[in-house]
Amino acid sequence: MNEELYNFLLGKIFYFCQLPSYTKWGIWSFEPDGKIKGMHSDFEQTWKIENGRLLILDSQGHITCIFEGQIEKMQKSHLLHPGMEHFQVALIATDLIGYDYFDSLCPIENDLVAACMETGSVANEKLRQLLLEDKTIDGYYAGRAYAVKRKDLEIGLKQYKGVFYDLELSQNQPDFFTKKLLVWFPGLLSYNHGNARENFFPNPFEGITGYIAKNTVVLRIADSNLINGSYYLNTPNFRDYEQNIQELIAKTAEEEGILRENILCAGSSRGGMGALYHGLLGNYALVSMDPVVDRSPWLQSADVQLMFDCIPVSFVDKLNQLLEKTNLSAEKIQVITSPQVPITYPFIIQLKIWKLALKTYRMKLTDEQFDYQPYGGKMHGDFVNRNIPLLLMKINEFLYGCDSIENTIDEKTL
């Protein structure tokens, strides 16, 4: 037996992740008796070391998986289950010392989340304390959540000073258009996944480059804070979050040789708030689809987004302060919404709307509602999802406008 490898594995937690997306496949702990405890423990699997390789065996002693390579990140070389021969995964080890076990005595993930939402409960207070220590949840098993330092997360994204992001360069694209930068702020599709990536980065708008002006670099910024993000705002555990986002945008633009006037921030819902706030903060043009500028609808029955008192309930005052100071023209601040979305519209119109271009649309929306959003949460989702072409149109208006010459044509040449 390889003693070094054995000692490295013993008593540690491992994430098995599908590459390249880092989608979680399992969370296992290797015990000294050769047993495996974790998500797949029902199969009574065991482990052993042979010739520097890690072998996973089923209850009959048959080898099901073979891992080899570097100790810190072993590559699965064989998957012997039929039909899964090409399932590529990575094995990532994490010291238990770096993890907190967050007990809630709840048998399933949804019950765990429900316990955390109950203000004043043991689970609620414990989770709040973990967040203030700059930890987040990345894994559930048997009513127990795994809390890890946010900056130590492995979620398949780049990181700049604690801000996780993805950068899609305009490689092999025609350069007959000015080089531009689209900063995309993902929204929040649903809450409290065991996978931190799903909470921070659920809607990266992959493939968007096929629908926008060529020679556009796309910077996607994950809302990498707390459990479900913090609407891209500073929190007690991450006091320079906003500054670091601004630095990342400026750094990307400088490295790619992109001028400030050719940068656009865009997003919807939570991402709409991110685009609106950081566009105003950095004096960048923006397109914001139905932004959430007040969290009170999400606090009707419980704090479903688990943000506690780390950020304000309403962002209206912060946004109005920025609108008052901005150098942007109203047409550079595009906000799209509908009076038929009661979960967002009443708050959006509290903004200094004379300082922005408010685009309102009439739509027939479903009256079905989520249990935790008692007055129109489903309508908000419908409006955002059904109007992606509208959002793309507004994005392209700006991107193509960077090369528009219609306002410079001399009347004498007509």
Report which of residues 262 and 138 the model is more confident about.
262
Q: What are the backbone dihedrals phi and psi of residue 238, each rounded to the nearest 5 degrees, phi first?
A: -140, 75
Which CATH number, 3.40.228.10, 1.10.1370.30, 3.30.70.1350, 3.40.50.1820, labels domain 156-400?
A: 3.40.50.1820
In the chain, where the domains are located: 1-75, 156-400
> What is the full DSSP assignment across 87-107?
--EEEEEE-GGGEEEEE---S
Q: How confident is the model at residue 78 (pLDDT cuts 50, 70, 90)?
A: very low
Q: How far is CA 42 from CA 35, 89, 107, 293, in A?
A: 11, 21, 15, 45
Q: Provide the Cα torsion 165, 159, 224, 286; round to 10°.
A: -40
Whole-prediction pTM: 0.77
Cis peptide before 186 (omega within 30 of 0): no
User: Which pLDDT does position 71 carry in this prediction?
Assistant: 45
User: What sign for the dihedral angle of Cα 159, 220, 259, 180?
Assistant: positive
Can you tell me which residue has the tokens 């994005």?
Answer: 395
Alpha-carbon gap, residue 83 to 303, rounded angstroms? 42
> What is the full DSSP assignment across 126-161?
HHHHHHHTTEEEEEEETTEEEEEEGGG--SS-EEET
Report which of residues 242 and 177 the model is more confident about.
242
Q: Which residues are paired to 101 by β-bridges?
A: 146
CA nearest neighbour of 142 among 195, 115, 106: 106
Q: Which residues are paired to 185 by β-bridges?
A: 267
Q: How confident is the model at residue 56 (pLDDT cuts 50, 70, 90)?
A: confident
pLDDT greater than 70 at residue 374: no
Alpha-carbon gap, residue 260 to 218, rounded angstroms? 15
